[in-house]
């Protein structure tokens, strides 16, 4: 007897030729732990049995892929609403991805079409008149939120002919539902499931590594989620690890070569101090790349891993967790164990590639007990429950006593991805403030009995911003260890201003700005913060961070046009006793910006000014991380034909002076440059511009400009010919190649100041 069709499949239809016609709606199911993904393709009509399908779905997170839906009939709408309401009762959260334009239309017309679900990504229709090509462009709520809210989709190059395509719908109608949805980020485990296991498009920020850590007795449990890349904080994570270490890597997504190298380095650092080291929940890619004997070393053992299995009965492909100890006698023959479908209990077939299976015999048999297995299962099942931060001295003292300690932090808590690189605001949220960072000692006093509500982290040198009502924001800075409360609060204020600059940078989407401005300071900022975080006692590292923060604050105030408040809206400090006569302090400061102030800042730093064939933007405050002496100027973002290119200037140069006069911002640069060129064309002389190009001292560029006024004898009426003398005192004839002066070796030797 043929097996009955799965509940969510439409009845088979026999065509005239006797061959079964393809179903109008194809549904594929993928699962991994508490995450279930349904991929729907075709037409949703009366044959779609929504209620029956909903009864078969139970998930913590249900992902609905609606990218291949071609049509939704009127009867199909009713069935769909029944389905979305039904699964809402059996799923903690619902995420809709890659929604087709037909689905977006239903969001706009049918109440409750998305149920309790949230739309993460959707396709927008574009058309090219030049080659008559229609395209679909994927938008994501975390990456493209501002465009969605503005309802002004930009044009884009055609994928076929290269001409500009336009958005092929009425944007106000198309985005009406989506613009009302709040911005959200995918959970790390969901992002890893989508990007690594199903190859969906997921933004870089959603894949950033998240680390949850539990310390219970002599056991340390670490849960990782996100992509494994070069920013993996191996030293910070390995610090202080001892006893029995369990690392849950189930949430690891893509593995970059640099990330794999950092992981191996982490294991090498942990191995000497660990009594035992175990990996659990190992996904297939991790199993294939990072669990060879040479990767695991002398102590690491794999407790469990997942392999993909497929059920032909209910069309489900699911990752099945395999216990190495329970199935060791089968695994040693490179054979996957038999598994049954968790939904219909039918036998499943392993879908893992042969190359992965041949690796299984190399896994050692774990040396564990049944009680230890229960402990691992209990730790994996725990949710992150970060304790409430102490708000009084008494609470902090009470929290120092006993119990397990939760620590959760992100390797890149606030990230702005730039062309060619990324910069990071490192934040660490510690659940037990009674156990302060290295060298703090015990909390012994504070400027207020109750810690202010705006304090969200007490991690040294943390800085962060939170959106406020209507587009405003509140930004907070935390100092490092300081000798006095005033020093701590002052440094925290500078940190909060740096956070404001970072939040402004995150709102600037112009690729030219990101490439020519953002990349100038990204690496310097990250390196200085990492050095201070690695060794809080290093006077040099702390001084470099303090000086950079002070310079950022100075530049922000000088270039913001008064958009930044004159003083913090909140101040607070805490005192610590490390057992010596000298007390140490951590300061906190917050700034509150109104929506109009935020807009003014973003507009001021992103708006280019055209001058002499080039475009320039006002110097951005965080450039002070690389150039602490910089507090003014204009950054060249493009240099086309004109006097500035003839002079030898290039994009990413920071213009400091024109003709000996200081450049305050982009507007001032345009005014000074135009005035100087007008003067020189009348009187003749030397055009001299000083810039910051790369590291080191500022550099001067100069070239003679001949007067446009010529007397009857052909003599230049602008006065004495400079003979090509540049500002450095070098004399020549005609235009001087200034690159010879600075090691450029001619026109082919132009340096790249972004490096």
pLDDT tens column, 674-685: 999 999 989 889
Q: Is 582 exposed, middle or buried (0-12, 13-18, 19+ CB in 10 A)?
A: exposed
The H-or-E segment that residue 399 falls in is none
For 743, the token pair is 């090691």
Q: What is the pLDDT of residue 286?
A: 92
213, pLDDT greater than 70:
yes
**Neighbour-count burial for 540-550, b at 16+ CB within 10 Å, e otherwise:** ebbebbbbbbb
35 phi and psi angles, rounded to 5 deg: -105, 130
Confidence of residue 204 (pLDDT cuts 50, 70, 90): low
Q: Among 41-45, 660-664, 695-699, where is mean pLDDT lowest?
A: 695-699
CB 48 within 8 A of CB 84: no
Confidence of residue 205 (pLDDT cuts 50, 70, 90): low
Q: How far apart are CA 254 and CA 226, in angstroms?
A: 8
- What is the side-by-side order of every strand in the sheet holding 243-255? 300-302, 274-280, 243-255, 219-228, 210-216, 405-418, 421-430
Q: How far apart are CA 703 and CA 720, in angstroms?
A: 15
> What letter would DSSP give residue 604?
H
What's the length of the chain? 755
For 485, the token pair is 């409360």
Q: Among 302-316, 343-357, 625-639, 722-736, where is mean pLDDT lowest?
A: 722-736
Confidence of residue 609 (pLDDT cuts 50, 70, 90): very high
What is the SS3 assignment for 438? coil
CB 184 within 8 A of CB 142: yes
511 vs 321, residue with greater confidence: 321
Mean pLDDT for the chain?
80
Centroid of chain to Cα 403: 33
For 112, the token pair is 């409750």
**Neighbour-count burial for 717-748, b at 16+ CB within 10 Å, e otherwise:** ebeeebebebbeeeeeeeebbbbebbebeeee
Centroid of chain to Cα 752: 26
Q: What is the pLDDT of residue 7?
A: 36
pLDDT, tens digit (0-9, with 9 covering 90-100), for 420-452: 332 223 232 222 333 344 457 788 999 998 999
Measured distance between the N- and C-terminal CA atoms of the chain, rounded to whole angstroms? 70
Q: What's the whole-number mean pLDDT along residues 695-706?
A: 87
Centre a 10 Å sphere on the Cβ of residue 281 and count the other Cβ atoms it contains: 23
Confidence of residue 496 (pLDDT cuts 50, 70, 90): very high
* Nearest in space to 660 (alpha carbons), one of 624, 627, 685, 635: 685
Q: What is the pLDDT of residue 342?
A: 76
Q: What is the pLDDT of residue 446?
A: 93
For 72, the token pair is 């939704």
Centre a 10 Å sphere on the Cβ of residue 483 and count the other Cβ atoms it contains: 11
Residue listed under structure tokens 């090219």: 128
Per DSSP bridges, beta strands 421-430 and 339-340 are unpaired
Q: What's the whole-number mean pLDDT along residues 64-85?
A: 92
Q: How far apart are CA 608 and CA 615, in angstroms?
A: 6
User: CA-CA distances (angstroms) from residue 370 to 248, 249, 326, 374, 448?
Assistant: 18, 21, 11, 6, 50
Q: What is the pLDDT of residue 201?
A: 64
pLDDT, tens digit (0-9, with 9 covering 90-100), for 453-479: 899 888 888 888 888 777 889 999 999
Q: How far apart are CA 507 and CA 604, in angstroms?
A: 12
327, pLDDT greater than 80:
yes
pTM to 2 decimal places? 0.45
* Gyration radius from the chain CA atoms: 31
Q: What is the pLDDT of residue 346?
A: 86
Provide the CB-side half-sphere exposure for 572 (13 A, CA).
23
Q: Is 521 exposed, middle or buried (0-12, 13-18, 19+ CB in 10 A)?
A: buried
Q: What's the whole-number mean pLDDT along residues 196-205?
A: 65
303, pLDDT greater than 90:
yes
Q: Is 95 exposed, middle or buried (0-12, 13-18, 19+ CB in 10 A)?
A: buried
CB 282 within 8 A of CB 295: no
pLDDT, tens digit (0-9, with 9 covering 90-100), for 90-143: 888 999 999 999 999 999 888 889 999 999 999 999 999 888 899 999 999 988
11, pLDDT greater than 60:
no
732, pLDDT greater than 80:
no
* Nearest in space to 565 (alpha carbons), one of 640, 496, 516, 492: 496
10 vs 139, residue with greater confidence: 139
Q: How far apart are CA 455 and CA 677, in angstroms?
A: 52
Alpha helix (H) residue ranges in 297-398: 328-331, 354-357, 370-381, 393-398
Beta bridge partner(s), residue 466: 474
Centre a 10 Å sphere on the Cβ of residue 232 and count the other Cβ atoms it contains: 24
12 contact partners, CB below 8 Å, separation of at least 6: 5, 20, 23
Q: Among 55-59, 494-498, 670-674, where is mean pLDDT lowest?
A: 55-59
What is the SS3 assignment for 545? helix
Confidence of residue 64 (pLDDT cuts 50, 70, 90): very high
Alpha helix (H) residue ranges in 316-362: 328-331, 354-357
Confidence of residue 311 (pLDDT cuts 50, 70, 90): confident
Q: What is the torsion angle, in degrees rounded to the nearest 10, for the CA atoms of residue 268, residue 274, residue 278 and residue 283?
A: -30
Beta bridge partner(s), residue 41: 26, 68
Q: How far apart are CA 616 and CA 510, in angstroms?
A: 13
Q: How far apart are CA 95 and CA 669, in angstroms?
A: 49
Q: How far apart are CA 389 and CA 381, in angstroms?
A: 24
| Percent with pLDDT over 70 in the chain | 82
13, pLDDT greater than 50:
no
745, pLDDT greater than 60:
no
For 719, the token pair is 């006065």
For 419, the token pair is 């062309």
Q: Which domains does the chain have, with CATH numbers?
A: 13-180 (3.30.750.24), 204-381 (3.30.750.24), 393-602 (no CATH), 608-749 (2.30.42.10)
CB 426 within 8 A of CB 533: yes
Q: Is 509 exposed, middle or buried (0-12, 13-18, 19+ CB in 10 A)?
A: middle
- The top-scoring range by mean pLDDT among 10-14, 263-267, 412-416, 647-651 is 263-267
CA angle 641, 646, 649 (to 5 degrees): 95
Centroid of chain to Cα 168: 30
CB 719 within 8 A of CB 684: yes
Q: How far apart are CA 483 and CA 99, in angstroms?
A: 56
Q: What is the pLDDT of residue 439?
A: 57
User: CA-CA distances (angstroms) from residue 171 to 154, 174, 246?
Assistant: 11, 5, 50
CB 188 within 8 A of CB 204: no
Q: What's the whole-number mean pLDDT along residues 730-734?
A: 36
Q: What's the whole-number mean pLDDT along residues 305-325?
A: 85
> What letter would DSSP give residue 549?
H
| Percent with pLDDT over 90 in the chain | 36
């Amino acid at each position: 007897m043929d097996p009955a069709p799965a509940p969510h499949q439409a009845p088979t239809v026999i065509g005239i030729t006797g061959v079964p016609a393809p179903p109008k709606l194809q549904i594929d199911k993928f699962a991994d732990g508490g995450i279930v993904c349904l991929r729907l393709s075709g037409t949703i009509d009366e044959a779609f049995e929504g209620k029956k399908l909903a009864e078969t779905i139970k998930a913590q997170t249900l992902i609905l892929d609606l990218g291949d839906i071609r049509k939704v009939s009127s009867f199909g709408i009713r069935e769909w609403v029944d389905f979305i309401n039904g699964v809402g009762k059996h799923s903690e959260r619902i995420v809709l991805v890659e929604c087709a334009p037909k689905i977006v239309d239903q969001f706009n017309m049918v109440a409750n079409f998305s149920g309790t679900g949230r739309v993460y990504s959707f396709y927008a229709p574009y058309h090219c008149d030049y080659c008559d090509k229609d395209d679909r462009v994927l938008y994501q709520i975390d990456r493209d939120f501002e465009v969605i809210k503005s309802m002004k989709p930009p044009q884009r190059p055609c994928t076929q002919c290269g001409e500009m395509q336009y958005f092929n719908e009425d944007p106000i109608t198309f985005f009406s539902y989506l613009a009302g949805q709040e911005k959200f980020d995918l959970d790390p485990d969901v992002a890893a499931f989508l990007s690594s296991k199903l190859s969906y498009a997921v933004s870089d920020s959603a894949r950033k590594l998240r680390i949850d850590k539990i310390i219970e007795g002599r056991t340390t449990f670490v849960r990782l989620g996100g992509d494994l890349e070069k920013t993996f904080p191996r030293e910070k994570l390995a610090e202080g690890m001892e006893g029995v270490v369990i690392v849950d890597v189930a949430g690891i997504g893509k593995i970059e070569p640099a990330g794999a190298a950092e992981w191996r380095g982490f294991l090498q650092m942990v191995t000497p101090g660990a009594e035992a080291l175990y990996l659990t929940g190992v996904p297939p890619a991790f199993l294939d790349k990072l669990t060879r004997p040479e990767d695991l070393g002398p102590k690491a053992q794999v407790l469990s891993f997942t392999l993909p299995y497929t059920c032909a009965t209910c069309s489900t492909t699911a990752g099945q967790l395999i216990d190495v100890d329970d199935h060791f006698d089968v695994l040693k023959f490179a054979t996957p164990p038999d598994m049954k479908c968790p939904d219909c209990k039918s036998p499943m077939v392993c879908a893992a590639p042969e190359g992965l299976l041949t690796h299984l015999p190399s896994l050692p048999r774990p040396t564990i007990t049944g009680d230890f297995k229960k402990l691992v299962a209990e730790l994996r099942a725990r949710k992150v429950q970060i304790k409430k931060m102490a708000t009084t001295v008494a609470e902090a003292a009470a929290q120092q006593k006993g119990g397990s300690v939760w620590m959760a932090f992100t390797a890149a808590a606030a990230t702005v991805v730039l062309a060619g690189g990324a910069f990071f605001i490192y934040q660490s949220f510690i659940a037990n403030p009674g156990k302060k960072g290295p060298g703090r000692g015990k909390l012994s006093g504070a400027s207020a009995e109750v810690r202010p509500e705006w304090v969200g982290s007490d991690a040294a040198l943390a800085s962060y911003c939170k959106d406020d009502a209507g587009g405003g924001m509140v930004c907070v800075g935390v100092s490092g260890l300081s000798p006095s409360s005033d020093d701590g609060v002052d440094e925290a204020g500078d940190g909060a201003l740096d956070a404001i600059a970072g939040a402004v940078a995150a709102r600037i989407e112009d690729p030219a700005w990101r490439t020519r401005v953002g990349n100038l300071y990204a690496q310097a900022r990250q390196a200085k913060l990492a050095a201070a975080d690695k060794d809080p006692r290093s006077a040099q590292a702390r001084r470099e961070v303090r000086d950079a923060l002070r310079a950022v604050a100075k530049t922000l105030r000088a270039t913001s046009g008064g958009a930044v408040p004159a003083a913090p809206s909140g101040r607070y400090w805490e005192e610590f006793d490390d057992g010596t006569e000298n007390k140490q302090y951590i300061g906190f400061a917050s700034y509150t910006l109104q929506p109009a102030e935020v807009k003014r800042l973003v507009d001021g730093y992103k708006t280019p000014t055209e001058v002499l064939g080039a475009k320039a933007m006002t110097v951005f405050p965080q450039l002070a991380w690389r150039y602490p002496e910089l507090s003014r100027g204009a950054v060249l973002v493009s240099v086309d034909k004109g006097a500035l290119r003839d002079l030898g200037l290039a994009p990413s140069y920071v213009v400091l002076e024109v003709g000996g006069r200081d450049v305050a911002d982009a507007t001032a640069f345009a005014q000074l440059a135009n005035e100087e060129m007008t003067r020189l064309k009348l009187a003749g002389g030397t055009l001299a511009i000083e810039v910051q190009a790369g590291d080191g001292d500022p550099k001067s560029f100069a070239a003679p400009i001949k007067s446009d006024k010529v007397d009857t004898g052909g003599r230049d009426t602008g006065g004495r010919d400079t003979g090509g003398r540049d500002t450095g005192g070098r004399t020549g004839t005609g235009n001087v190649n200034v690159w010879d002066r600075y090691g450029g070796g001619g026109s082919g030797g132009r340096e790249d100041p972004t490096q």
